Structure 1
């Protein structure tokens, strides 16, 4: 190995009186930037700029929960297999008037989790609800697997309501509705968010 390094160094020329320095050769840059290294190692560079990810990052969820949703969308969590195998299933979102959200692929599920809603702020809250559902299902799954919890869909549903209400009421200027209003009239509350 020392011989190989020696051979490589013989071909490198250093001019007397000049400082030796490292050069970063990605994308024409000569200075190292973390984002260029990230793009270099990331296989699908355009994935985070897709419309689905732009919607996800605009949600009112806390960053750690949005990251969990991102991992689901990127198929980085074994949710489809593990959740069904362990009996953690959410049958519907009747609270929102949604009886069924279809598609097994997370990206399509997130993209199809929408309604004909009047404003962009309502869309953002709607996407935030999806993040809340996904993150709470994942947390519930972890309680079952690692803490010997039991499957309880009503507990997941109640925690999603609390979690999303706290995110929305904290991150929106006009979200002045109570938790009980959020539970009883979620669509009306969503219209109040800016």
Structure 2
């Protein structure tokens, strides 16, 4: 019932029990709708369905949840409002050539200077998605590697629904006075919703290896690219020397953030250092994107310098 296509079983069910939108749906249908999805599409079942993008002819570019980080319309409202195309599928936002798919977005006006960073981030995210000409878009149950629904996997996901990163971590994060775009990025990183190679591969929207862009040795997970990668670790070591401290850094992202919550004895000092942490993580990611899309060289010293400038600003 989650798929938009008119399949035989869907036609049989709707002919017998109705579509669920009539004034007096059957008791059976009401029970079914309680466990599959709400009208707003924000319950546990819908959140565990994913799109596997093929040629992008069925998936709505702005409105469907086809990337790790949620609907583009909600995350990039300013870009959505400036887009010439609104209610269109992914295939309307580019063209096919002999070299493959090429993104081509049309805007209603030119971007202001202060908006260009957001646009670059946006393009870096969607540019990592590979479309497949002639392949149909599919709606899948998010249970790799089979991506097939089972009662056991549904029970496990329902049992764990609502339990994720502790609220206290997010409260400490949103209390910081740093760039909103940096805070939003870290929030997504804490939820493992940034477009790392591993996440894109897991969602079926990218092909090729999943090796880290910076070191080229290990799988590019969220914690790896931002914390444990040898190149990222150089940045954190520079930070420790600059701060005049000596510590063993944690390899898990949130635990690494919590370390910065205990550097000083006073609350204001800790808030200051946590702001620096956010700046460093944000700059590591932006540098990683420049390496991919602008063929920049990996430079840990440049990353730390940019983080200092952003932090002081």
TM-score by length of 2: 0.41
Which stretch of structure 1 is more off in the superposition, 106-115 or 72-81? 72-81
Over 3 Å counting, the alpha-carbon distance change for 1:44 and 1:8 in structure 2 is closer
State the Cα distance separating 1:129 from its structure 2 match.
Answer: 0.9
Q: Deviations over 1:6-55 (max 9, x none)?
A: 2113999858xxxxxxxxx87xxxx97x6x93677386524355322221
**Could you tell me which residue of structure 2 aligns to residue 155 of structure 1?**
302
Q: Residue 18 of structure 2: SS of its match in structure 1? A: helix
Q: Residue 47 of structure 1: SS of its match in structure 2? A: coil
**Could you tell me which residue of structure 2 aligns to residue 67 of structure 1?**
184
Correspondence for 1:89 among 197, 221, 232:
232
Q: Residue 51 of structure 1: SS of its match in structure 2? A: helix
Asked if 1:37 corresponds to 2:168, the answer is no
Over 3 Å counting, the alpha-carbon distance change for 1:88 and 1:44 in structure 2 is farther
More relative contact order, 1 or 2 (CA 8 Å, 6+ apart): 1
CA RMSD of aligned residues (A): 3.6
Over 3 Å counting, the alpha-carbon distance change for 1:96 and 1:39 in structure 2 is farther
- Paired residues of 1:102 and 1:109 also in contact (CA < 8 A): yes
Distance 2:261 2:296 in 1: 31
Asked if 1:56 corresponds to 2:173, the answer is yes
Asked which structure has the greater CA Rg, the reply is 1
Over 3 Å counting, the alpha-carbon distance change for 1:119 and 1:11 in structure 2 is closer
Asked if 1:9 corresponds to 2:18, the answer is yes
Which runs of no fewer than 5 residues in structure 1 stay unpaired? 16-24, 167-194
Distance 1:58 1:162 in 2: 21
State the Cα distance separating 1:70 from its structure 2 match.
Answer: 2.1
Distance 2:276 2:233 in 1: 14
Q: Which protein is richer in helix relative to its size?
A: 1
Task: Give the number of aligned pairs.
Answer: 152
Distance 2:166 2:258 in 1: 14
Which runs of no fewer than 5 residues in structure 2 stay unpaired? 1-7, 25-32, 49-159, 199-210, 218-229
Over 3 Å counting, the alpha-carbon distance change for 1:66 and 1:101 in structure 2 is farther
Over 3 Å counting, the alpha-carbon distance change for 1:100 and 1:11 in structure 2 is closer
TM-score by length of 1: 0.62
Over 3 Å counting, the alpha-carbon distance change for 1:6 and 1:122 in structure 2 is same
Distance 1:101 1:79 in 2: 27
Correspondence for 2:264 among 113, 117, 122:
117
**Could you tell me which residue of structure 2 aligns to residue 131 of structure 1?**
278
Q: Deviations over 1:43-82 (max 9, x none)?
A: 6524355322221121112222112222332333448962
Over 3 Å counting, the alpha-carbon distance change for 1:143 and 1:104 in structure 2 is same
1:162-173 equivalences under 5 Å are: 162-166=309-313
